[in-house]
A and B are shown apart, each in its own frame.
Chain A
């Protein structure tokens, strides 16, 4: 039982490049979330999903897109990376609505130059 896994762990992009971050969970959780964590800003919700095939915007969705084609996977895409998207990205999953007991992945550290 791996819990929540994220790939890649580290990535450096040039401005304008695109990439996809992959999150996978093996706990059969319905709810999945993408956050970014920046110094002094805490964890901010980018997008989330309440079930397979559904997505919704969080607090800071601009510049990001997501897809939840399979229940266990939640993808975060950056179509044209900007330096402001330099951050640590965390995926989380939950089995109870209202956000109870979210389980986090180890994070992806992204640098955009």
Chain B
């Protein structure tokens, strides 16, 4: 059972465009994280959100945690080729668990 659904699975855009990636679940999480992974490397944490309705900004990236703590979105403004990578969302603390549940990822390609 895939507890976290990410969409879209693939996204190819031109430099300068805006985009939004979604992460949805029917389960409640105590935290939700976004990671970026580049080819041949391990995932790197971008942000953690823990409060329903929370919005965090990291330069051109805006992360939002849903009010019910079941979903999240990642919005990138004026995408650049350096944003290319696999974006993974992960939910933590479900039922007090020590584990993270990962989505399958969104592969983003930003063309110059």
Instruction: Please name all residues of chain B whose beta carbon is closer than 8 Å to the beta carbon of A99 when the two chains form the complex.
Output: 31, 90, 92-93, 97-100
The distance in angstroms between the C-alpha atoms of A45 and B41, with both chains bound, is 17
| Residue of A with least CB distance to B103 | A42
Q: Are A98 and B42 in contact (CB under 8 A)?
A: no
Q: What is the 8 Å Cβ interface bit string for chain A, positions 26-54, against chain B (1 contact, 0 not)?
A: 00000101000000111111001010000
What class of interface size applies to chain B in its complex with A? 20 to 34
The distance in angstroms between the C-alpha atoms of A40 and B10, with both chains bound, is 11
The distance in angstroms between the C-alpha atoms of A103 and B44, with both chains bound, is 7
Q: What is the 8 Å Cβ interface bit string for chain B, positions 23-40, against chain A (1 contact, 0 not)?
A: 000000011010100001
The distance in angstroms between the C-alpha atoms of A107 and B40, with both chains bound, is 8
Q: Are B97 and A104 in contact (CB under 8 A)?
A: no
Q: Are B104 and A40 in contact (CB under 8 A)?
A: yes
Instruction: Please name all residues of chain A whose beta carbon is closer than 8 Å to the beta carbon of B31 when the two chains form the complex.
Output: 98-100
Instruction: Please name all residues of chain A whose beta carbon is closer than 8 Å to the beta carbon of B104 when the two chains form the complex.
Output: 40-42
**B60-112, CB < 8 A from A:** 88, 90, 92-93, 96-100, 102-105
Let me know if A101 is at the binding interface, CB within 8 A: yes
| Residue of B with least CB distance to A45 | B99
User: Which residue from B35, B43, B88, B93 sits with its C-beta under 8 Å from A98?
Assistant: B93
**A79-113, CB < 8 A from B:** 90, 92, 97-107
The distance in angstroms between the C-alpha atoms of A106 and B41, with both chains bound, is 5
Instruction: Please name all residues of chain B whose beta carbon is closer than 8 Å to the beta carbon of A40 when the two chains form the complex.
Output: 104
Q: Are B43 and A58 in contact (CB under 8 A)?
A: no
Q: Are A43 and B98 in contact (CB under 8 A)?
A: no
Closest 8 CB pairs of A and B: A104-B42, A98-B93, A99-B100, A42-B104, A99-B92, A43-B102, A98-B92, A104-B43
